[in-house]
Amino acid sequence: MGYTIAQKIIKNHLVCGEMTVGKEIGLKIDQTLTQDATGTMAYLQFEAMGIDRVKTELSVAYIDHNTLPAGFENADDHRYIQTVTKKHGIRFSRPGNGICHQVHLERFAKPCKTLIGSDSHTPTAGGIGMLGMGAGGLDVAVAMGGGTYYITMPKMIKVNLVGKLSDYVGAKDVILEVLRILGVKGGVGAIVEYGGEGVKTLSVPQRATITNMGAELGATSSIFPSDEVTREFLKAEGREEDYIELSSDQDAVFDAEYTIDLSALKPLAACPHSPDNVKAVAELSGMPIHQVCIGSCTNSSMQDMLTVAAMLKGKTVHPSVSLSISPGSKQVYTMLAECGALADLINAGARILECACGPCIGMGFSPQSAGVSLRTFNRNFLARSGTADAQVYLVSPETAAASAIAGVFTDPTTLGNAPCVKMPKAFKINDNLIEMPVKAEDMDSVTVERGPNIKPIPVGKAPDKNLQCELILKVGDDITTDHIMPAGTKVLPYRSNVPKLSEFCFTVCDKDFPERAKKKGGGVILGGANYGQGSSREHAALVPLYLGIKAVVAKSFARIHVANLINFGIVPMTLVNPEDYENFNEGDCLEIQGFAEAVAGKDEATLVNKTNGKSATLKLTLSSRQREILLAGGRLNYTKQEKK
């Protein structure tokens, strides 16, 4: 039996475990990346491990999230990251150089290599044939120190692409169709591989758009073959030597297969408030809109920008619409300026933002009250835009541009022939905003600068012998990390200040939760299905730890979040019978006799509701390594113990 693309990479990087679906495996990691919303904590954790220099082939710190310095906090975090990376062997991508996933795809991603990043959209690198995976900052810190990265061996899903995209239909429409078919839980525990003749018709940036939003499927990663299209992209980036051909074997076996006819696709939109709430744009045509945002790590490539510029050339954005455009990298921005496309965007009335995440994470450009916002981003979770009652739709750049001109939802395929967009044969290479670290022998010459907003990391404790506490919060299905730990201009500056950050925890669901948790001394959280989906932000585990949360019980968990809970000593447990969810209510007094004993070696435990006398059987799906981490009070304690 042959291997899939992902299985080949896993096999070549396997440190421990067997490649059996559902079993824990450990992987050697070649590259890591961080961004500034998660990076400060990751580097504080790296320092806490006492390791002098990174041991990966390449590690890069990007500044792309908290780039709106309304106060000193963001600037202080950036200075800390700049100095700590210089000291410990990590490259530093300065503010203005671009969004981490776009820049990494351009300058560093390599076929056949492994990459983990403290950002859930790290699978963007799968567009170039790299196995990229989102991870918590602590997992990234451990990998930088030469440690093994652990995942559950995924099953393999194949999406066969046939035909060719029609005019005005984009790669965004491909992944929205996959989301329509599979849903936000359809990729959980799986890697999605794209194959078929249609793959050859897609450029690397288009492939990267598709793998980027594989995160919204809940997938461990998504990946394309490395082929002649890949070679041409790498050649255009001046790094053809990084090319390696990579494809799945003809006799590779997949756990599920789907086929999408690219030529039959029509423009699609993800409606509020979930990326899998997909409808045809034609169904929405004529709906008045108020805002359009083009950019993000999903759709900010040179190809996307040139397409939008060609559609806007000689036209004016509708007076009822505010249009923002965020180029994905300095490379893209510079080339737009030099070829004249930037002038076309400006003349049309677009407001050009810096090369950063910006509106995607609620960092500025929030919609008006109850506004309809069309965004080429990857997530439209409730209130993520910064406006609680905004109606956010996820669309392609083509749909976004057409609608911005018309002032209403517009199917771009009704506009006739698409303008011809020619991609340059070579990209403008200038890495002057990527700072190199000092040599190992000079590291003592670097002073790491820490601002007053950078506070110590909360450290977990071993589980109590018997768990007796209150059900402090009950939430429903598909709770995202944006619900648990919101982003936005008010919150993101405190990512390195957990005590302050705790004031915002779960306030999207319950504005009184932080104060109640502090008053009660913590407790247990009960969630529904797919608890913790979305971003890889470990703060969604770290802040509940600070607030005294000892365990989270849910119908099911998202992959990265459950790993983060374990890393910080919070015990994740699932309901054996999901209907038992109804037997527990906020404020109930709970008990698990032999809690620490269950964590140490049992697969099940009994949760007793002492308020109403009912109970539920809980499943502890933990490897022996994860049990040891929880018994140590988290991975930081566990790593320190390993070093002794």
Is 510 annotated in the active site?
A: no
Say how far apart CA 193 and CA 191 lie, in whole Å.
6
Q: Catalytic one among 221, 403, 502, 535?
A: 535
Task: Quickly list DSSP for 383-431.
Answer: TTTS-TT-EEEE--HHHHHHHHHHSB---GGGG-SPPP-PPPSSPPP--
Is 91 annotated in the active site?
A: no
Two tokens, residue 492: 């993101």
349 CA to centre of own chain: 31
Q: Catalytic one among 537, 539, 627, 635?
A: 537
Is 464 annotated in the active site?
A: no
Say how far apart CA 275 and CA 141 lie, in whole Å.
30
Q: Catalytic one among 76, 119, 276, 588?
A: 119
Cβ–Cβ < 8 Å for 306, 437: no
Task: Quickly list DSSP for 231-244.
Answer: HHHHHHTT-GGG--
CA distances from 335 to 33, 93, 143, 258 (A): 25, 19, 35, 38
Say how far apart CA 628 and CA 601 lie, in whole Å.
10
Two tokens, residue 420: 């011809």
For residue 534, which amino acid is it? G
Task: Quickly list DSSP for 314-327.
Answer: T----TT-EEEE--
Q: Catalytic one among 13, 30, 59, 64?
A: 64
Q: 441-479 as b/e, with b when 16 or more CB fall inside 10 Å?
A: eeeeebebebbebbeebbebeebeeebebbbbbbbeebb
Say how far apart CA 574 and CA 557 lie, in whole Å.
8
Cβ–Cβ < 8 Å for 398, 311: yes
Which residues lie closer than 8 Å to 107 by C-beta, 6 or more apart? 237, 239, 431, 434
Say how far apart CA 246 and CA 130 lie, in whole Å.
10
What angle is formed at CA 531 by the lines to CA 525 and CA 537, rounded to 5 degrees? 95
Which residues lie closer than 8 Å to 311 by C-beta, 6 or more apart? 398, 401, 402, 405, 412, 418, 419
3-state secondary structure of 311: helix
Say how far apart CA 357 and CA 352 lie, in whole Å.
13
Is 537 annotated in the active site?
A: yes
Say how far apart CA 617 and CA 170 lie, in whole Å.
47
Q: Catalytic one among 13, 65, 384, 635?
A: 65
Neighbours of 340 (CB within 10 A): 10
Neighbours of 134 (CB within 10 A): 26
Is 76 annotated in the active site?
A: no
Cβ–Cβ < 8 Å for 109, 203: no
- Beta strand ranges found along 186-338 (DSSP E): 190-195, 221-223, 256-261, 268-270, 278-280, 291-294, 322-325
Cβ–Cβ < 8 Å for 46, 6: no
Q: Pick left, alpha or beta for residue 522 (phi over 0 → left; psi -120 to 50 → alpha; otherwise beta).
A: left
Q: Catalytic one among 88, 379, 495, 635?
A: 379
Is 322 annotated in the active site?
A: no
- The continuous run of DSSP H or E covering 362 comes out as none
Q: Which residues are catalytic?
A: 64-65, 119, 379, 535, 537
